[in-house]
Chain A
Amino acid sequence: MTLAEAREGQRFRILLLPNRDIRAQAIRFGISEGEQVTCTAIIPGGPIIVTKNRQEIAIGRGLARKIAVEPIASPSSLKSPVRRHFYGLPRP
């Protein structure tokens, strides 16, 4: 399904972002493929608002139609300890 079909309050995993530029800009705001976001508002006919932590991002409807997402039931586990170790970060 695409982000344009989202319902308010639903939680998703982003599967596919359309093009290079959009992907790069979205990553800066904190959304990348594989990331989990919540749809917090849908403006009728207009943009979709997604939230990751405290960061809110408005995505135009046209763009939302090109973003593939999958709904997830429950929030997933924390970031894996292996990855944290790789960045020299303390284990949780």
Chain B
Amino acid sequence: MACHDLNQQLNIPPGVRKIVLAGNPNVGKSVFFNAFTGLYVDVSNFPGTTLEISHARVGNDVVLDTPGVYGVSSFNEEEKVARDVIMEADVVINVVDAVHLERDLFLTQQIIDMGIPMVLALNMIDEAKRQGIKIDVKKMEELLGVPVIPTVAIKNVGLEEVKKAVARARIGNALPELQEMLPLVEKKTRTRAEALLILEGDPFIAARCRMKPLDRQEEIYLARRRRVDAIVAAVVQENPSGASWKTSLSRWMMHPLTGIPLLILTLGILYEFIGVFVAQTVVSITEEGIMQGYYEPFIRTLIGSIIPASSIPGTLLIGEFGLLTMTVTYILGLLLPLVLGFYLSLSALEDSGYLPRIAVLVDRMLMRLGLNGRGIIPIILGFGCVTAATITTRLLGTPRERRIATFLLAMTIPCSAQLAVITSMLSRLGPGYTFLYVFLIAVIFVLTGTILNWILPGKPSDLLIDIPPLRFPRPINVLKKTATRTKNFIQEATPLFAVGALLIGTLQVTGLLETLQNWLSPVTVNWLQLPKETATAFIMGFVRRDFGAAGLYSLALTPAQSVVALVTITIFVPCIASALMIFKERGWREGIIIWPTILILAFLIGGLISQLLI
């Protein structure tokens, strides 16, 4: 009896061999995947989850990528997906980091114990050599019982050998302890992998096979750990090189006294690059210069000659919020350069190994807001683009943490497009008001997190992360990552924006936009003490956060009114794309709570500040 069927879920025809890439996070699986499959890759949502699985047909095989995991079980979403894909594999190509064999071979041994034929790619062998680590590949092959191929994926070394070795893939040497444990369970399951995971107490696999999970996990894990340590001791020879400047830098990054200035410096550089160079200089060329200067007049004339611009389809296509005008300009002129710049910085940060060190640095502070140190990652990303950052809340361990991070992002983090407008408005008001704005947003951020931590049931989970070595990021790797991510993001975002633009366009055509403006005006005039026209800016803010801020730019406001308006527009509901992303990530039920709550809070807090300031 088949407990589970992956073929149907991912649309893989029967009879096709499934080659699965598996490995710990950041060992270079994606580089392997790209090298194996070329450009034509399908990225599809893994059924029932928000995680994506890349897969591609290569001849009569299908190659599947999996999320990076430290082991196969069901600690989190990534592991569940990786587990299901690995269990269905005909051959696993296990990519391991030669510098971190103690860590990586745990997964290797587990997959061997699952009884799946495997080829081991011993990646980053050059890095290991540089660090004075010598690995006896032959002995390793003998001890593990599977082909071991040394590779340097980013330099395309050894990839062909790995491809060829797939034919020699073997089931390796399983733990001797399993010999007595497995047979009993194996009778009742379809595969040995299922039997092993049931022994290891995986409740999901047990339920699928209509069995009770067993409690041998610790015993097996400890035996596996001992075997891995013994193998490493037998194959690795090391010339210890003393503490280098990297070790010192690593310490500085994590210690508050030196780490906070380093973090501020890094964020400052990122802001200069994304917020100033890309958001202002580059975008003014792409958005205003190219798109609004050449593309929009061109498309208006072209479409205008067929459909009158003032007609209803004309307004929807080439009007103020037109599908062919605003949507295209926004995506190509503004979003594309911003997202590119942003992913470029992020990929470089990721590859350098700095992110986990930031997580260690801020762990203490974030615990009070209901997040552990890892929560800093989506928050940093939020300053680039809240929509993209919302996706990365997936990496947080518990639903509670994802909830808090999503809420904080939506409510308090201005995205780079919005920041650009906000900075230019604040710079007119002088440093005093700038400080006031930053102070207010910081207070709101801390208060929101603290209150959420207090009202949501449960506690923040403890930090337990692996700290990778510091590396100088490789430009080619960073560029490839950036390209893939940007492509995926644009693909995902474009339909969202089209829908958003159509929605606002329809509101405009039907006259509902004006009705909404009038309906909002009592709130803006009486409670927020702002001019009546601010309502337009708020409605625009739905479409795009910085549209809202830009709408304020042209109004005659006193400095105090500006601060009130800016704080309100910052807290105010995220743009349509990020609102939809919240719905997608957190589900409709939670989205329906988060969205109006933030809307009400924006006006409530904005009004309170207004009563205090004005």
Q: A residues engaging B (CB < 8 A)?
A: 20-30, 32, 41, 43-47, 49, 52-63, 78-79, 83-84, 86-90, 92
Contacts of B180 in A (CB 8 A): none
CB closest residue in chain A, given B100: A55
Contact B360 A89 (CB under 8 A): no
Interface assignment of B227: CB less than 8 Å from any CB of chain A: yes
Contact B226 A28 (CB under 8 A): no
Across the interface, A43 reaches (CB within 8 A) one of B218, B363, B466, namely B363
Contact A25 B226 (CB under 8 A): no
Contacts of A47 in B (CB 8 A): 360, 363-364, 373, 463
A-contact 0/1 string along B63-85, CB 8 Å cutoff? 00000001101010000000000
Contact A43 B361 (CB under 8 A): yes
Contact A32 B225 (CB under 8 A): yes
Q: Chain B nearest CB: distance from A55 CB in Å?
A: 5
Contacts of A21 in B (CB 8 A): 75
- Residues of B in contact (CB 8 Å), total 48
Q: Chain B nearest CB: distance from A76 CB in Å?
A: 13
A-contact 0/1 string along B338-371, CB 8 Å cutoff? 0000000000000000001001110110010000
Contacts of B231 in A (CB 8 A): 87, 89
Question: Can you report 20 A-B residue pairs in the complex whose CB atoms are below 8 A from each other?
Answer: A22-B464, A26-B464, A27-B106, A27-B222, A29-B103, A29-B464, A30-B102, A43-B254, A43-B361, A44-B364, A45-B364, A46-B363, A54-B469, A58-B363, A59-B462, A60-B363, A60-B464, A62-B367, A86-B176, A89-B143
Across the interface, A89 reaches (CB within 8 A) one of B102, B234, B361, B462, namely B234
A-contact 0/1 string along B222-245, CB 8 Å cutoff? 101111011111100000000000
Contact B464 A23 (CB under 8 A): no
Contact A46 B256 (CB under 8 A): yes
Contact A62 B464 (CB under 8 A): no
Contact B255 A41 (CB under 8 A): yes
Contacts of A46 in B (CB 8 A): 256, 360-361, 363-364, 373
Interface assignment of B178: CB less than 8 Å from any CB of chain A: no
Q: Chain B nearest CB: distance from A44 CB in Å?
A: 6
Contact B367 A60 (CB under 8 A): yes
Q: Chain B nearest CB: distance from A31 CB in Å?
A: 9
Contact A55 B462 (CB under 8 A): no
Across the interface, A24 reaches (CB within 8 A) one of B217, B254, B466, namely B217
CB closest residue in chain A, given B235: A89
5 closest residue pairs by CB, A with B? A60-B463, A63-B462, A60-B462, A46-B364, A56-B467
Interface assignment of B372: CB less than 8 Å from any CB of chain A: yes
Main SS class of interface, A: mixed
Q: Chain A nearest CB: distance from B612 CB in Å?
A: 33
Measured between alpha carbons, how far is A78 from B70 in the docked complex, in Å?
26
Contacts of A59 in B (CB 8 A): 462-464
Contact A43 B364 (CB under 8 A): yes
Across the interface, B463 reaches (CB within 8 A) one of A23, A63, A89, namely A63
Contact A28 B103 (CB under 8 A): yes
Q: Chain B nearest CB: distance from A2 CB in Å?
A: 13
Measured between alpha carbons, how far is A35 from B131 in the docked complex, in Å?
24
Interface assignment of B435: CB less than 8 Å from any CB of chain A: no
Contact A62 B230 (CB under 8 A): no
CB closest residue in chain A, given B372: A60
Contact A83 B226 (CB under 8 A): yes
A-contact 0/1 string along B502-514, CB 8 Å cutoff? 0000000000000
Q: Chain B nearest CB: distance from A25 CB in Å?
A: 6
Across the interface, B75 reaches (CB within 8 A) one of A25, A79, A84, namely A25
Enumerate B42-100 residues with CB–CB distance to A below 8 Å: 70-71, 73, 75, 99-100
Supposing A32-B222, A46-B361, A89-B143 touch, asked if A58 and B230 sit within 8 A by C-beta, the answer is: no
Known: A25-B464, A46-B363. 19 other contacts (CB 8 A): A21-B75, A22-B462, A22-B464, A24-B71, A25-B75, A27-B106, A28-B221, A41-B255, A45-B364, A46-B373, A49-B467, A53-B102, A54-B99, A58-B464, A78-B233, A83-B230, A87-B227, A88-B173, A89-B230
Interface assignment of B163: CB less than 8 Å from any CB of chain A: no
Contacts of A92 in B (CB 8 A): 233
Contacts of B469 in A (CB 8 A): 54
Contacts of A44 in B (CB 8 A): 255-256, 364
Contacts of B363 in A (CB 8 A): 43, 46-47, 58, 60-61
Contact B218 A24 (CB under 8 A): yes
Q: Chain B nearest CB: distance from A30 CB in Å?
A: 5
Supposing A27-B106, A29-B103, A41-B251 touch, asked if A58 and B70 sit within 8 A by C-beta, the answer is: no
Q: Chain B nearest CB: distance from A9 CB in Å?
A: 12
Supposing A63-B463, A83-B230 touch, asked if A28 and B71 sit within 8 A by C-beta, the answer is: yes
Contacts of B373 in A (CB 8 A): 46-47, 58, 60
Contact A58 B364 (CB under 8 A): no
Interface assignment of B465: CB less than 8 Å from any CB of chain A: yes
Measured between alpha carbons, how far is A25 from B255 in the docked complex, in Å?
25
Contact A25 B364 (CB under 8 A): no
Q: Which of B106, B222, B360, B364 has the most CB of A within 10 A?
A: B360
Measured between alpha carbons, how far is A84 from B233 in the docked complex, in Å?
10
Contact B234 A55 (CB under 8 A): no
Q: Chain A nearest CB: distance from B208 CB in Å?
A: 20
CB closest residue in chain A, given B255: A43
